[in-house]
Structure 1
Amino acid sequence: MTDIQPFSGTLLCEANSILGEGPTYDETTGIVWWVNIKGRELHELHLKSGRKSVHALPFMASVIARIDPERQLLATDAGLYLRQTETGDLSFLSKVEDAPANRSNDGRVHPSGSLWLGTMGKGAESGAGAIYHIAQGRVTKLYGNITVPNAICFSPDGATAYFADSDVNHLMRVDLDPATGLPTGDATVLSDETGSDGVLDGSVCDADGLIWNARWGGWSVDVYKPDGSKVARHAIPTGQPSCPAFIGPDAARLLVTSAWQDMDDATRAKDVNAGRTFDLGIAVRGRFEPVYKL
């Protein structure tokens, strides 16, 4: 059992998101972006000044990816949208799947510029979702029968993907073609987290290949080597941390979003930080996110 390291970080944002998710840092502007999926909000935080804005959305978005200085990609329950970063104007790009009862969930851009995106039932219906590879508008279904897709991230060289179905709670790995982000073999179980504290939620992979995973229900961010061994646990002062992101001019800090989804009033009263956004307070060897290539 890996000892848990006490929280030594800070609160970055006091907003209590129903389901904070999808954080990403734009190193060209110094802005951190994340979403409140169930609240239909896009959050914008200028890291150095602390300037904060919240943008209302007409849909549930879960993933934000930079395209160029003027545009972002949003993955939503209504498909993929382009957003003008300066004005907020939205334009429809493409569908991902023909399933109105589903929404997008976890996702991340591969170093090749392609996107891995998970979908799920809006009520987390068993096996309703999938994980897709999206490259320049072409959508390829990779894995079906997924209930809650999570933990999608990639090794620094782009040759390995990690992912999970939180309902199963197995951290998976698969070899990739680094040039495309497409699998070249079968996925295998890297770490069986059945019966452990909490379930696998969002993940990010650092410059050394370590996998940083937010542990929903576990009050922690757990760290794995590429061989699946757990090497560290860092406490988070809320029960449902949802997704990490590397932030700062050197990607040397770790932001973690969280959620109060599914908490009753008594639980929320005990977990006052639920839905808030944190800086873990430790030095990390992070990486900036790749841009999505249209």
Structure 2
Amino acid sequence: MSVDVRVAVQSGHALGEGVLWCDRTQSLLWTDIHASMLWRYVPGDGTVRSWPMPERLASFALCVADGWLLLALASRLAFFHFGTGEIREIRTLPIAPETRANDGACDRQGRFVFGTLHEPAHGPKGAHGQFLRLDADLTLHELPLPRVAIANSVAFSPDGGTMYFCDSLQKRILQCEYGDEVGAVSTFVDLTSLEGGEPDGSTVDSEGGVWNAQWGASRVVRYRADGREDRVVAMPTSQPTRPAFGGPSLATLYVTSAHDGMTDAARSIDRHAGDVFAFEPGITGLREPRFAGDPDAVRRR
């Protein structure tokens, strides 16, 4: 698919991730995980702002409560208020040693689903990560899904009845029936033949297509709801991380990227690694779901 991919923000992040669009403020939000920074870009006036976080911010969700964001920090969940900068801790995460929070998204029912990532001090990553869900009453549950080394690609079908997810190292995007319970897991897309690349973050469009950023493969790919490859968009960087629809009509696809793990020689060639990109795919997205939990409930507990 030939589209005009442009640099929206020259950010140069080590690990840009977690991107989503806020329809209330008409702004793009994302994180540079390794820098422990939350970023915001307002296309209407071109302003860019950032907020330091108390530890690495892996992913987040918009909230029904105005002005609040739900944070999946490396070791804990918390609420963040844009106006005051207040952080209200919800709880620490019951996760394995040498793991941290990673990719996550709010489901259509207003709950936050996220996975964890294994980052050992020595040796290879192992399947020690898990998928968790924070409900509106702020209770946390582990979902009965396969253990993973790098949890990614958390996204939901337009009707909320299917959850997509993956272990990036296994190179398969999986799916399951989703609701109060999760159903049997099956393969949505098999990418084991993709040399030098692996699935990273995903988003779903208004037609039910799944857009996946493929780390190391310099591309974003759209899959139809039946898993068939539909469109391939070449990206001007080797490590795209996550897409998100944005803009007034949700007609622009924004994509974060990273230079994490690149040598100086590789970065001299990949000059836009870590920037935020944008293009118009010809399909619109869906309004980002909001977490239904109440930040004031933290104080009442």
Counterpart residue type for residue 205 of structure 2: D
Q: Given residue 115 of structure 2, which amino acid in structure 1 is its aligned partner?
A: G
CA distance in 2, matches of 1:230, 1:144: 24
- Report the Cα distance in structure 2 between the residues aligned to 1:176 and 1:125, rounded to whole angstroms: 28
1:129 counterpart SS class: coil
Q: What is the percent sequence identity of the aligned residues? A: 29
C-alpha distance after superposition, 1:235-267 (max 9, x if no partner): 110000000001011111100000000111111
Structure 2 equivalent of residue 148 of structure 1: 150
Q: CA deviation at 1:156?
A: 0.3
In the TM superposition, what is the alpha-carbon distance from 1:94 to its structure 2 partner?
A: 1.6
Please point out which of 85, 88, 91 is paired with 1:91: 88
Of 190, 193, 208, which aligns to 1:192?
A: 190
- Counterpart for residue 242 of structure 1: 241
- Unmatched segments (≥5 aa) in structure 2: 294-301
Contact 1:10 1:278 in 2 (8 A): yes
Corresponding residue for residue 162 of structure 2: 160
**1:115 shift after superposition:** 1.2
For residues 126-275 of structure 1, the aligned pairs below 5 Å read: 126-136=126-136, 137-142=138-143, 143-177=145-179, 180=180, 182-183=181-182, 185-197=183-195, 198-275=197-274
Q: Counterparts of 1:7 and 1:100 in 2: how far apart (Å)?
A: 43
Aligned to 1:27: 23
Are the counterparts in 2 of residues 210 and 225 from structure 1 also a CA contact under 8 Å? yes
- Deviation at 1:114? 0.8
Alignment partner, residue 297 of structure 2: none
**Distance in 2 separating the partners of 1:140 and 1:260:** 33
Per the alignment, residue 77 of structure 1 pairs with: 74
Tell me if the contact between 2:102 and 2:151 (Cα under 8 Å) persists in the aligned partners.
yes
Preserved CA contact (<8 Å) 1:33 1:64:
no
Question: Kindly tell me: are residues 56 and 100 of structure 1, through their superposed partners in 2, closer, same or farther at Cα, counting changes over 3 Å?
Answer: farther
CA contact (8 A) 1:258 1:275 kept: yes
TM-superposed CA distance for 1:97, in Å, is 1.6
Q: Secondary structure at the match of 1:167?
A: helix
What is the TM-score of this pair, normalised by structure 2?
0.91
Whether the 8 Å CA contact 2:96–2:129 is kept in 1: the answer is no
Q: Distance in 2 between matches of 1:225 and 1:30?
A: 28
Secondary structure at 1:34 match in 2? strand
Instruction: Find out whether 1:58 has 2:57 as its counterpart.
Output: no
Change (3 A) 1:191 1:203: same
Whole-Å separation in 2 of the counterparts to 1:145 and 1:56: 31
- In the other structure, the counterpart of 2:40 is 44
Shift of 1:76: 0.8
Question: How many angstroms does 1:199 deviate by?
Answer: 0.6
User: Could you say what secondary structure the match of 1:279 adopts?
Assistant: strand
SS in 1 for 2:142: strand
CA offsets 1:104-148 (integer angstroms, 9 cap, x no match): 111110010011101012347211211112212222212242101
- Structure 2 CA distance for partners of 1:267 and 1:6, relative to 1, 3 Å: farther
The answer on whether the counterparts of 1:212 and 1:222 sit within 8 Å (CA) in structure 2 is yes
Which segment is superposed worse, 237-246 or 141-150? Answer: 141-150
C-alpha distance in structure 2 between counterparts of 1:101 and 1:293, whole Å:
30
**Quick check: 1:104 aligned with 2:101?**
yes
Question: How many Å apart are 1:221 and its aligned residue?
Answer: 0.4
Q: Which amino acid aligns with 1:86?
A: G
Any conservation in 1 of the 2:3–2:281 contact (CA below 8 Å)? Answer: no
Q: Quick one: distance in 1 between partners of 2:112 and 2:286?
A: 17
